Amino acid sequence: MKKTIKLAIAVSILTFISCKDNTPNQPYQYELNPAYTWGYVVFYGDYYADYLNENNVLTVNLFTDSLKINNQNELSGYGQYLFLEDVFVAPSDTLLPEGIYRVDNSGEPFTIAPGINDTIDNQVYTLGAVINYYEPNPLKSTQKLIVGGKMTVSRQGENYSLNCDFVLQDSLKLKGIFSGTLPHFDESLQREERNSIYIFKENSLVKEKKTIYKFFGKKKNY
């Protein structure tokens, strides 16, 4: 009787192992339709004027609610950080205007520069639009390039609504929504005051010294 029980257990174990081996590993599932709850916009002015592009440039930064700024002024927690590095608007625009923004590298108003990995002086830099995933398992945290799609922006008073419909480098669709206020910071004068930034209040600039958080996606000077 004992031999029969042992044999049954052995058969069960072998069957379990066989089933496990035949099951392919499922890819890790990242959130593809997040609800962003806070963010900010940075204005850089005609950042590419030296390259014959006089359009103004903004960066758009959106975060899910589980990402916070800790006491060390660093980003902490889990969630998603959407970073659109170069959002082009008309020379007359300083705030993020309403409209449909498409991902392309033309540098024209209402376009978002796509994410790329660029090599400069033997160093690889990630430029353009990206989504950053901060996962509970640090091995799963990653960054993906945004290579296509669009973002629709509408505004009522100080409240913005952003609807994302992007395409990632692995061909997955990244959607996402944001609704709320978007503080605007001005760094177009960073050559004169690199440690100061200015807050937009409607169409006027309210000068207010601020600390620049370490996690801010900053422009690179090569």
DSSP codes, 19-66: HHHHSPPPPP---SS-EEEEEEEEEEESTTGGGT--SEEEEEEEEETT
166 inside domain: yes
142 inside domain: yes
Measured from the Cβ of residue 171, the count of other Cβ atoms closer than 10 Å reads 8
Per the CB < 8 A criterion, the answer to whether 54 and 103 are in contact is no
Question: Of 18, 164, 185, 193, which Cα lies nearest the Cα of 80?
Answer: 164
13 inside domain: no
19 inside domain: no
The domain tally of the chain equals 1
Domain that holds residue 190: 33-206
pTM, two decimals, is 0.76
pLDDT in tens, 90-146: 999 999 999 999 999 999 999 999 999 998 888 999 999 999 999 999 999 999 999
Q: What are phi and psi of 198, to 5 degrees?
A: -120, 145
Residue 221's pLDDT band, with cuts at 50, 70 and 90, is very low
